[in-house]
Amino acid sequence: MTDTLWVAIIGAGPAGYYTAEALTGGDTNVRVDIIDRLPTPYGLIRAGVAPDHQSIKNVSMRYEKTNNRDTVRFVGNLSLGRDITLAELLTLYDAVVLATGAPKDRPLGIEGEELSGVIGSGAFVSWYNAHPDYKDLNPDLNIPAVTVIGNGNVAVDVARVLAKTAKEMESSDLACHAADAIHPAQIKDIYILGRRGPLESSFTPKELGELNRLENAVALLDPEQLPSEATIEAAELTGAAKKNMKIFSSMAENTPDLKPVRVHLQFYRRPMAVLGHDCVCGIRLEKTKVEDGKCIGTGENEVLPTGMVVPCIGYRTTPIQDVPYDERRGHFNNEDGLISDRLYCVGWAKRGPMGTIGTNKPDGKLVAAKILNDVKAMGREGRSGLDTLCAARNLDIVTFRDWKKIEAAEEAAGSDITPRVKFADVNDMLDAAH
Ligand code: NAP
């Protein structure tokens, strides 16, 4: 079929699936292979969305519908760089889309960051979500205090997952190894540190509000850190920010003795150094103030004793050899998704780690439209060429049907309450698949 436009999408997360949906939604003769290095699809839906936010994961049903189109195929357990090169994909397909996300933690860039108890949210969240890369992370949670750095939803997710009881997590798909480490742990204090103030935080009210409804943990905030009525008035807040202010105010009325675990929201503190020799014993912070929205150090330092530091300060896309990369922003260099001739990117690999899952939908549509406009079918081999190459290399490819077997095995291991028990090991996934 020389008039077929063959597109390979690398990364089976939301960005990849929305792009595939848009590419194959019209009557154009487009065929898409969605390639993922893991045997499981859905990227951040599986490994990033918090395990106790099951309703958000329902969006995967939409991706499954896309995958059920004759024109779309999932190719799992095929890794760009390990199994196949970008040059080979560009030979086989008319266009290649990098939807590889931003899985690497942004460094804090401070002394002590290399200590073993400093674990970025990318690693920590992947660990509790059973991502195979982090199944052996084995964080030491036998500590009285954890410090979470950042004032976004990832920080809230991490604090909440650590603070919830086994009973509260019963209806989640928290990785077994994480449940075994988190639930017996005796963490008493969880600090969420913001380098700016409540007005500058990027929590969403739903997520922030959850911290105020935990069974065993109370959210605390120093009333002195709340903005005055006049400041709030002058700030012309969005509806969401107004809701956050109400939640912050109610947290400021809580008292530490209400529940056995305390979640402290502390603003105007920036991390200066992680302290410890072999492992973390504290973090040095500088008190800050905010001027014109900017964080300004006051020169006044304090030490917060803590056994673990989880920076939740954003992510970076993993660079790919020969693909131009914006070092400052941490994603591929691109112009509205175009990297170079027939090579595109989408999602966090295109615009950095921000926005909700839904943000990927318009993003995918835009890049799909660009491809359909820019690229012409050239009689490339596409799918059959990939299959020949995989067979020649003896690669153990996972199809969507295979994935459904993995999914069924995980669900069968669950219960009426627990949606699934996830495999964390690729070999176990492959055993279930075949
Ligand atoms: P985020 O919302 O951008 O928050 C990052 C936080 O890190 C900010 O408070 C930022 O402070 C702080 N930060 C950055 N560099 C820092 C440094 N060197 N020292 C101290 N603090 C630093 O990012 P995120 O929480 O990683 O979330 C990523 C995206 O996923 C967001 O769009 C988020 O809403 C979304 N998400 C959504 C959900 C949900 O809807 N349930 C769950 C998780 C994630 P400044 O503001 O001062 O820079």
78-95 per-position pLDDT tens digit: 999 999 999 999 999 999
CA angle centred on 281, ends 278 and 284, rounded to 5°: 115
Domain positions in the chain are 5-103+317-433, 107-313
pLDDT of residue 1: 52
Q: How many residues does the chain have?
A: 434
Q: Mind listing the pLDDT tens digit for each residue in 196-211? A: 999 999 999 999 999 9
| β-strands 325-326, 331-332 pairing | antiparallel
For atom 21 of ligand 1, the residue with the nearest CA is: 150
- At the second CATH level, the architecture of 5-103+317-433 is 3-Layer(aba) Sandwich (3.40)
| β-strands 343-345, 338-340 pairing | antiparallel
Q: How far is the CA of 330 from the centre of ligand 1 (A)?
A: 15
Q: How far is the CA of 352 from the centre of ligand 1 (A)?
A: 11
Helices (H), 68-204: 86-92, 121-128, 153-163, 176-182
Query: CA–CA distance from 4 to each of 8, 40, 71, 103, 251 (Å)?
Result: 13, 27, 10, 33, 58
Q: How far is the CA of 112 from the centre of ligand 1 (A)?
A: 22
Best probe residue, ligand 1, of 153, 203, 210 (max atoms within 8 Å of C-beta): 153
For atom 10 of ligand 1, the residue with the nearest CA is: 150
pLDDT of residue 2: 66
pLDDT of residue 199: 96
The CATH number of 107-313 is: 3.50.50.60
Q: How far is the CA of 203 from the centre of ligand 1 (A)?
A: 8
Amino acid in the structure at residue 395? L
Low-confidence spans in the chain with pLDDT less than 50: none
Best probe residue, ligand 1, of 195, 201, 283 (max atoms within 8 Å of C-beta): 195
Q: Mind listing the pLDDT tens digit for each residue in 17-66? A: 999 999 999 978 999 999 999 999 999 999 999 999 999 999 999 999 99
Write down the pTM of the prediction.
0.97
Angstrom distance (rounded) from CA 315 to CA 329: 10
Q: How far is the CA of 395 from the centre of ligand 1 (A)?
A: 38
Residues with CB under 6 A from ligand 1: 53, 108, 149-155, 157, 194-196, 200, 202, 204, 207, 270-271, 295, 312-314, 353-356
| β-strands 104-105, 315-316 pairing | antiparallel
pLDDT of residue 378: 94
With CA atoms as reference, report the closest residue to 179 among 55, 54, 51: 51
With CA atoms as reference, report the closest residue to 96 among 85, 106, 104: 85
Beta bridge partners of 296: 289
Whether 399 contacts 12, CB under 8 Å = no
Q: How far is the CA of 8 from the centre of ligand 1 (A)?
A: 31
Whether 156 contacts 192, CB under 8 Å = yes
